[in-house]
């Protein structure tokens, strides 16, 4: 409170008497009070579409002819630090994969996985990629292991969308669980 | 046996009805106020605040109420059981008792029984003294609650509360004296009537002393109702939750109730003492009932106290004492002198 120089700064005193700093603070908070909130209305109205670099649930990809890229080399299994990937190879020359060797079983345990992306780095054919799905909550342990068939399904967010967007979304409840479906035609950039 | 005549009976019934109505309103008020406080907090911090329970989170207070009712009512092992139980009541009853003396508007005519009814429970000729005395008693609940809990955080909270009280209560009383000097009456009804007319008759605009009294009163009141920047008795950062650390369930709810009712009573007092009570600020040709102006001003001040809460940081313990003893009391003494000269 006391001035070290000995005298009292008149200007400072007037400022204190008129509560100028207090009024400034009140003006700032009032500005925030009437400004728009930056909270995402997830899951009711909005959903966050992550960037391409996002590392979510794994996907298995196909080439342009619809053949599976995975050759079941098991390099992803070797690279995985948590041993959450299981691959069982088999012979198949019917043209299911790009080579004669395809995966009979390719499954990943999402509870063990730490989404480091080493599997995608190790993959010689770019078959396994980490996708943009991030809603992993479920009611039992069945959904914690994803099989080859599920991972081969097309992605809800296509690769052509760059991401970093907030999309309009619909929140659906049903007996099989809850789901938030994003409407990719109505997106906007993040508010900040 | 003497049979009381009908008008006396009617008078008694009316007073009882008024008491019940005011109590019910006061019990109900914390519900919208907690919602409002959380909404204001949310929006000032660019969040949304309560949103999921009901439209715009409007049912959130009911959810909170159900939660508080169903929680276990814990009494600490070595607490003073009697004081621990009675402390929330000691905090709550004075907060409610303040409203006995508060006038809410001009007399109105009741249509059915054709009788003029005053919008106050009692017009005491020493109303302002009564209010200062009663609201000062609320501090007992806090001190005893802090002491009876047998917890160091509660004890420090209670002690801080008592130290805080002796620092601000004097300057609040001086501010009230200033208003009494301006209005020549201790009765709250007379104080409001003396500010009738237009905006410029309000005590706040009695330059140069009106704003000073108002500032002293509001600063002191912030300390009295334990809100930021003077919420040292329940300083979350250093004391857990201060005096109500050990309280849970309904006992805790009673403390919260007392706090919100105290906030309402302080807003009401600020309006009555400085902002003309139910007098309209400008002559309006429309027939707006006086109680509308009263409620509008009170709502503004409730918002103001919330607004301040999310603007300012908390003062340190010694800073509060410095403000009370070294600034507010000397300033109010000087202002009394100036007011006295102006009123000669």
Q: What domains lie within chain A, and their CATH numbers? A: 1-35 (no CATH), 59-130+137-153 (3.30.70.3270)
pLDDT on residue A7: 67
The rounded mean pLDDT for chain B is 87
Q: What is the pLDDT of residue A4?
A: 55
- The answer to which of A151-160, B47-56, B106-115, B172-181 has the lowest mean pLDDT is B106-115
Quick one: average pLDDT of B313-325?
87
Closest-CA residue of chain A to B51: A41
Dihedral of alpha carbons B278, B281, B287, B292, sign: negative
Taking an 8 Å cut-off on Cβ atoms, the answer to whether A39 and B307 are in contact is: no
Answer whether B213's CB lies under 8 Å from B274's CB.
yes
Say if residue A177's pLDDT is above 70.
Answer: yes
User: Where residue B1 falls among pLDDT bands split at 50, 70, 90?
Assistant: low
Mean pLDDT of A6-34: 87
Give the pLDDT mean for A187-191. 75
**Range in B12-16, B57-61, B119-123, B161-165 with the lowest mean pLDDT:** B119-123
Residue A32 and residue B311: Cβ atoms within 8 Å? no
Residue B319 lies in a domain: yes
Q: What is the pLDDT of residue B209?
A: 87
CA distance A142 to chain B (A): 29
pLDDT at residue A191, as a whole number: 62
Burial class (CB in 10 A: 0-12, 13-18, 19+), B29: middle
**Domain housing B189:** 6-343
From the CA of A20, how many Å to the nearest CA of chain B?
13
Question: Total structural domains in chain B?
Answer: 1
Tell me if B142 is assigned to some domain: yes
pLDDT at B314: 87
User: Mean pLDDT across the stretch B42-63?
Assistant: 89
Q: Is residue B179 part of a domain?
A: yes
Q: Do B254 and B88 form a contact (C-beta atoms < 8 A)?
A: yes
Residue B48 has pLDDT above 70, yes or no: yes
Partner B contacted by A37 (CB < 8 A):
yes
Q: pTM for the full model?
A: 0.84
Question: Which residues in chain A have Cβ-Cβ distances shorter than 8 Å to B211?
Answer: none
Residues of B within 8 A of A37 (CB-CB) are: 42-43, 46-48
- B46 vs A22, A30, A35: nearest CB: A35
Higher pLDDT, A80 or B112: A80
Nearest by CB to B312, from A25, A35, A39: name it: A25
* Global ipTM: 0.81
**Does any domain span residue B1?**
no
Collect all residues of chain A within an 8 Å Cβ-Cβ radius of residue B55.
none
pLDDT reading at A82 higher than 90: yes
Q: Is the peptide bond before A37 cis (omega within 30 degrees of 0)?
A: no
- Predicted local distance difference test score (pLDDT) of residue B237: 78
The DSSP call for residue B328 is I
Is A69 within 8 Å of A63 (Cβ atoms)? yes
Which pair of structure tokens corresponds to residue B10? 């009617």
Angular region, A131: left φ>0, alpha ψ -120 to 50, beta rest: beta
- Is B333 a member of any domain? yes
Is residue B11 one of the residues assigned to a domain?
A: yes
Closest Cβ–Cβ partner in B43, B322, B326 for A33: B43
Instruction: Considering only CA atoms, give the Rg of chain A.
Output: 27
CA-based nearest distance A162→chain B, Å = 27
Mean pLDDT of A114-143: 88
- Do B311 and A29 count as a contact with CB atoms less than 8 A apart? yes
Verify whether the Cβ–Cβ distance B307 to A37 is below 8 Å: no
CA distance A54 to chain B (A): 26
The model's confidence at residue B167, banded by pLDDT at 50, 70 and 90, is: confident
Nearest CA in chain B to A29: B44
If you average pLDDT over residues A58-80, what whole number do you get? 91
Residue B210 in any domain: the answer is yes
State the average pLDDT over residues A3-20: 78
Give the residue, B282 or B255, on which the prediction is more confident. B255
Tell me which chain A residues have a C-beta less than 8 angstroms from the C-beta of B44: 29, 32-33
CA distance B340 to B337: 5
Q: Output b/e per residue, A116-131; b: 16+ Cβ within 10 A.
A: eebbbebbebebbbbb
| Chain B residues bordering chain A (beta-carbon distance below 8 Å) | 40, 42-48, 215, 307-308, 310-312, 322, 326
Identify the CA nearest to A60 among candidates A161, A156, A149, A163.
A149
- Is residue B224 within 8 A of residue B217, CB to CB? The reply is no
Structure confidence at residue A26 (pLDDT) = 92
Residues of B in contact with A1 (CB under 8 A): 322, 326
User: Is A5's pLDDT higher than 70?
Assistant: no
User: To the nearest whole number, what is the mean pLDDT of chain A?
Assistant: 86
Determine the average pLDDT of the residues in B8-13.
84
Chain A residues within 8 A of B47 when measuring between CB atoms: 37-39
Q: What is the mean pLDDT of residues A141-152?
A: 88
pLDDT category of residue B234 using cuts at 50, 70 and 90: confident
Which one of A33, A42, A46, A171 makes the best mutation probe of the B interface by having the most chain B beta carbons within 10 Å?
A33
Q: Is B290 helix (H, G, I), strand (E, B) or coil?
A: helix
Q: Stretch B42-53: mean pLDDT, rounded?
A: 89
Please tell me the distance from the alpha carbon of residue B144 to that of residue B155, in angstroms, as a whole number.
9
**Could you tell me if B143 and B301 are in contact, meaning their C-beta atoms sit under 8 angstroms apart?**
no
- % of chain B surpassing 90 pLDDT: 18
Q: At what angle do helices B249-274 and B290-309 cross, to 10 degrees?
A: 120
Contact across the interface for B312 and A33, Cβ inside 8 Å: no
- Residue B36 maps to a domain: yes
Residues of B in contact with A22 (CB under 8 A): 311-312
Q: Is the predicted pLDDT of residue A1 greater than 60, yes or no?
A: no
pLDDT at B300: 93
Confidence band for B33, pLDDT divided at 50, 70 and 90: very high
A25 at B interface, C-beta within 8 A: yes
**pLDDT for residue B23 is more than 80:** yes
């Amino acid at each position: 409170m006391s001035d070290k120089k000995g005298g009292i700064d008149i200007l400072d005193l007037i400022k204190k008497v008129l509560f100028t700093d207090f009024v400034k603070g009140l003006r700032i908070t009032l500005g925030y009070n009437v400004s728009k909130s930056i909270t995402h209305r997830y899951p009711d109205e909005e959903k966050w579409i992550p960037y391409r670099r996002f590392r979510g649930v794994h996907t298995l990809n196909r080439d342009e002819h619809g053949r599976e890229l995975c050759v079941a080399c098991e390099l992803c299994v070797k690279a995985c630090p948590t041993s959450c990937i299981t691959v069982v190879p088999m012979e198949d020359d019917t043209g299911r994969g790009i080579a004669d060797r395809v995966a009979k079983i390719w499954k990943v345990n999402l509870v063990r996985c730490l989404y480091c992306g080493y599997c995608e780095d190790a993959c010689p054919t770019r078959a396994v990629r980490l996708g943009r799905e991030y809603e992993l909550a479920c009611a039992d342990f069945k959904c914690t292991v994803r099989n080859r068939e599920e991972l081969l399904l097309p992605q809800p967010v296509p690769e052509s969308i760059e991401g970093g967007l907030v999309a309009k979304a619909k929140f659906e409840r049903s007996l099989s669980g809850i789901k938030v479906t994003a409407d990719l035609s109505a997106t906007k950039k993040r508010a900040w | 046996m003497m049979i009381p005549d009908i008008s006396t009976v009617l008078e008694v019934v009316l007073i009882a009805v008024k008491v019940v109505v005011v109590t019910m309103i006061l019990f109900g008020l914390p519900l919208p106020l907690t919602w409002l406080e959380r909404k204001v907090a949310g929006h000032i911090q660019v969040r949304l605040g309560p949103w999921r329970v009901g439209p715009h989170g409007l049912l959130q207070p009911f959810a909170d109420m159900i939660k508080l009712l169903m929680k276990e009512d814990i009494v600490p092992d070595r607490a003073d059981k009697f004081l621990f139980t009675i402390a929330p009541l000691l905090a709550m009853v004075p907060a409610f008792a303040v409203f006995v003396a508060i006038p809410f508007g001009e007399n109105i005519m009741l249509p059915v029984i054709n009788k003029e009814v005053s919008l106050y429970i009692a017009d005491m000729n020493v109303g302002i003294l009564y209010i200062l005395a009663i609201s000062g008693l609320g501090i007992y609940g806090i001190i005893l609650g802090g002491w009876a809990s047998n917890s160091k955080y509660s004890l420090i909270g209670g002690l801080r509360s008592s130290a805080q009280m002796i620092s601000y209560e004097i300057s609040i009383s001086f501010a009230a004296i200033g208003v009494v000097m301006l209005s020549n009456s201790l009765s709250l009804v007379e104080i409001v009537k003396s500010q009738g007319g237009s905006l410029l008759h309000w005590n706040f605009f009695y330059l140069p002393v009106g704003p000073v009294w108002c500032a002293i009163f509001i600063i002191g009141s912030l300390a009295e109702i334990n809100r930021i920047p003077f919420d040292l008795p329940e300083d979350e950062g250093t004391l857990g939750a201060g005096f109500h650390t050990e309280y849970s369930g309904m006992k805790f709810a009673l403390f919260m109730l007392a706090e919100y009712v105290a906030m309402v009573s302080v807003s009401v007092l600020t309006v009555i003492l400085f902002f003309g009570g139910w007098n309209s600020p400008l002559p309006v040709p429309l027939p707006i009932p006086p109680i509308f102006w009263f409620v509008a001003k009170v709502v503004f001040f409730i918002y103001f106290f919330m607004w301040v809460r999310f603007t300012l940081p908390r003062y340190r313990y010694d800073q509060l004492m410095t403000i009370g003893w070294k600034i507010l009391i000397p300033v109010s003494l000087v202002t009394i002198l100036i007011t006295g000269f102006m009123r000669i």
